[in-house]
Amino acid sequence: MCGIWALFGSDECLSVQCLSAMKIAHRGPDAFRFENVNGFTNCCFGFHRLAVVDQLYGMQPIRVKKFPYLWLCYNGEIYNFKQLQKQFGFDYQTLVDGEVILHLYNRGGIEQTASMLDGVFAFILLDTANRKVFLARDTYGVRPLFKVLTDDGFLGVCSEAKGLIDLKHSTSLCSKVEPFLPGHYEVLDLKPSGKVASVELVKFHSCKDEPLHITCDTVEALPSGFDLETVKSNIRILFENAVRKRLMAHRRIGCLLSGGLDSSLVAAVLLKLMKEVNINYPLQTFAIGMENSPDLLAARKVAAHIGSEHHEVILNTEEGIQAIEEVIFSLETYDITTIRASIGMYLVSKYIRKKTDSVVIFSGEGSDELTQGYIYFHKAPSPEEAAEESERLLKELYLFDVLRADRTTAAHGLELRVPFLDHRFTSYYLSLPAELRIPKNGIEKYLLRLSFEDSNLLPKEILWRPKEAFSDGIASVKKSWFSILQDYIDQQVDDLLLEKAAEKYPFNPPKTKESYYYRQIFEKHYSGRSGWLPHYWMPRWVKATDPSARTLKHYKSASQE
């Protein structure tokens, strides 16, 4: 995890513009570099480094003697860089996994490069010999990327939007800052003036497609067919493989553990594989919640079962409320459920950074979207519509859960690893018949649970624990986190303000005091940028006015069972 920033064709003094690069310093607390491009005095790269691999040669932009005309700034981890080296005979000059991008590009161009990378990434690649700039982002947008391109060819690129919004330009303030689409690459011509012109934007991978890099995966061809035993075995094999490849790190590994199915499976498989590869320090797991919240109690059980070094962060209401503004600033969104869930994750990340030496943090993001874990999937009209909804959610992850997971951890200089979003695992799961993937017997994620039932990785009551939204699970059963927030916000927002909300905020107008309060804070930091959120996250097929799982009829807390 790190922060990348680049400008091409700046009319303003670069020493002034580079102040914007400092707004993402939290993403890379270990080192910073600012470098001009030879022959293009108005083009530059900025890089904030979190050193996870190759402590000696990991600074960026990456340049190697073999390709002096290539400049690479990337944020991510390429898990198959050694397999690609073996397959194509690449001669690496550093231990940096991202160096493979230079070799792949030299061998087969940008299309092959983006398609062959097994990992999470956002990168800027400059080829001064052919006067090209390339931008690319991984399938689910696990690593963030934003860009601004003016009509006269000034390009700014950054890991977070906050590094672009204050850039100065002769024709205008740079207003059209937008997220770069996941699963795409863009080709731009670099003019002698340093300005650029977009040539094409190409979608190189879709979540349903089997990835091209399967040819150099450590797991070979799996048994075909959809009989239940074969499917369960393949799910276990691919999920273990997803966790195993993500062990690549020179810094200490930890794991977020809410006690729900997803984070518990990740933690259990992670600890098992760490032992297998002789990682000789204990796995630290981290839970956050109010005293005796469902998440804390469940996480305690899991930690005891798997034998992790468990840490609990007790959340008090005042601390959670005080964090709201800095959380919204970090997130760059005003989505209700994203903000609620981010407060706990932001505070647990803060604890990890201050109190431990864990830096590479595993988490369970992506499972709810992939395996139909949200409670509203029980109301899906048909398996086919449930499958379509699952794909829609995966495509929008970069706006919601993946955004939350990246920003809340990156704000404290941590690197997130999300095995449920492994390309091969997700494409296999989505290839299964729609009927197999729906909730069964009143239980969501039925197939995933069933696949691990005989593994003894988790206690049965955890493996079959009903869905609990993270923002709800951290509070007590009696009073959920969202209702605690609403009680506080009711005192902060006047009824009259809410009545006139649609006039003040015509796009995505707030419907509740809570959403109005969040929007006010968002507009304070990112005025006029409401288009970054195309719509609020809301459950489908139910008449919901609030995104919390606790408002849905299917929801059952432990006290009601």
Going residue by residue through the chain (561 aa), what tens digit of pLDDT does each one get?
Answer: 689 999 999 988 888 888 898 899 899 878 888 888 988 889 999 988 877 665 556 778 999 999 999 999 999 999 999 999 999 999 999 989 999 999 999 999 999 999 999 999 999 999 999 999 999 999 999 999 999 999 999 999 999 999 999 998 876 555 689 999 999 999 999 999 999 999 999 999 999 999 999 988 888 789 999 999 999 999 999 999 999 999 999 899 999 999 999 999 999 999 999 999 999 999 999 999 988 888 899 999 999 999 999 999 998 889 999 999 999 999 999 999 999 999 999 999 999 999 999 999 999 999 999 999 999 999 999 999 999 999 999 999 999 999 999 999 999 999 999 999 999 999 999 999 999 999 999 999 999 999 999 999 999 999 998 775 555 556 665 667 777 888 999 999 999 999 999 999 999 999 999 999 999 999 999 999 999 999 999 999 988 777 765 555 554 444 343
The two beta strands, 155-158 and 146-149, are antiparallel
SS3 call for 484: helix
Binding residues for ATP: 256, 288, 363-364
Q: Of 438, 430, 445, 363, which Cα lies nearest the Cα of 395? A: 430
* Look-up of token digits 């050193």: 51
Domains of the chain (ranges, CATH numbers): 3-203 (3.60.20.10), 219-551 (3.40.50.620)
Please tell me whether residue 82 adopts helix, strand or coil conformation.
helix
SS3 (DSSP) at 162: helix
Q: Is 431 helix (H, G, I), strand (E, B) or coil?
A: helix
Tokens of 379: 């109301």
Annotated catalytic residues are 2
Orientation angle between helical segments 228-245 and 261-276, nearest 10 degrees: 70
Distance, C-alpha 505 to centroid of its chain:
28
CB within 8 Å of 532: residues ≥ 6 apart: 161, 178, 179, 332, 333, 526
